[in-house]
Amino acid sequence: MSEQPDESQKTEEPSPKKLADARKKGDVPVSKEVATLTSMIATILLIAFAGPPLVRTMSASMSPFVASVHDIRVEETTYDVTAVLGELFFKIFAAMSPLFLAFAAAALLAAFGQNALVFAVDRIKPKAERLNPMKGLKRIFSQDSLVELGKNLTKVAVVTGVVALFTMNELENFTAMASYDLNQIPLRMQSMVIKLLSAVLVVMVLIAVIDVIWKQMEYKKKQRMTKQEVKDEFKQTEGDPQIKQRMAEIRRSKKRRDSIAKVPDATVLIMNPTHYAVALRYVPSEGDAPVCIAKGRNLIALQMRDKANEHNVPVIENPPLARALHAAIEEDQPIPPQFFKAVAEVINYVYRTGQRSLTL
């Protein structure tokens, strides 16, 4: 088995193919702090706009239970207790469902925002290496795990500090709530919770930005390639350069042979004496315009001329017309209308005189 390349050898930036292959396997840079941030934003919005109705709904759900708690016959059967608790749980769950939906939407939004919505079969396939306790320990005490631990401890310390400062600043307001009317306390608590979460949110935004940048840098570093990997990938996607060069030469050689082989079927070969040759075929029953059946330059042009002389195909030397036709048309295409007059004069001359060569 080949050894994994040393990290120090990975000096090349990851190619688009390398990144695409990693994405197919579910290997994408994802910041958990972004998900935490979006969940916190969803919580603040939910408390701000749906807090009082949510409290009222939960209070209404629990009131019958509190009012009739003395009617539950615990000593005779557990049926009444189970039924009441089940009903209570269902009502509380129904009341809390907007909060659950908000968290789910926030998680999806976080994944979508990071372009991390990927269904990768490789992630759910059972792998024997995951059952290896030694590799499990290596993952636990790996550099990534230690970095994550450090980030989490730092986050907890910073957030705890923010909460402590907020609590100290709001301590007088907390004690003053003892004198508030009961109807005022939920609104006051709502305001204080929103202020606290907003203060934490500012810190979480900074933490999330730093974490996203860190994740992207670590991901790019992890996906770097060695020079050999770059060469191997190029061979896989583009082909071996030597083979490609050889195949291109074979195609050019075949095209030269085909061009020369078609000359005997031509009506006339128009040449710039040694540089350009265009073989035209004109048979009225085959079409209204002459067709270029072959063309060539330099050595091919000379070989086409020799082939034309072998098979008694008229050779007309007309440098301007030869260059213009060679540049304007491809093989097996009729000549453009702008050449009709000039080519017609050449073909009429060939038909009328029967000469095999002429310089115009």
Least confident interval from 188-197, 234-243, 298-307 = 234-243
pLDDT at 278: 92
Average pLDDT over residues 120-131: 56
pLDDT band, very low/low/confident/very high, at 284 (cuts 50, 70, 90): confident
pLDDT band, very low/low/confident/very high, at 39 (cuts 50, 70, 90): confident
User: What does the alpha-carbon distance between residue 207 and residue 162 come to, in Å, rounded to a whole number?
Assistant: 13
pLDDT band, very low/low/confident/very high, at 58 (cuts 50, 70, 90): low
pLDDT at 229: 81
Average pLDDT over residues 88-98: 71
Average pLDDT over residues 245-266: 81
| Other Cβ atoms closer than 10 A to 290 | 25
197-214 pLDDT tens trace: 888 888 888 888 888 888
User: What does the alpha-carbon distance between residue 106 and residue 110 come to, in Å, rounded to a whole number?
Assistant: 6
Q: What six digits make up the tokens of 26? A: 């579910």
8 A C-beta contact, residue 44 and residue 201: yes
Average pLDDT, the chain: 76
**pLDDT more than 90, % of the chain:** 4
Domains and CATH numbers, the chain: 28-224 (no CATH), 248-359 (3.40.1690.10)
Residue with tokens 């998680």: 107
pTM summary value: 0.49
Average pLDDT over residues 37-43: 83
Residue 354 has pLDDT above 80, yes or no: no
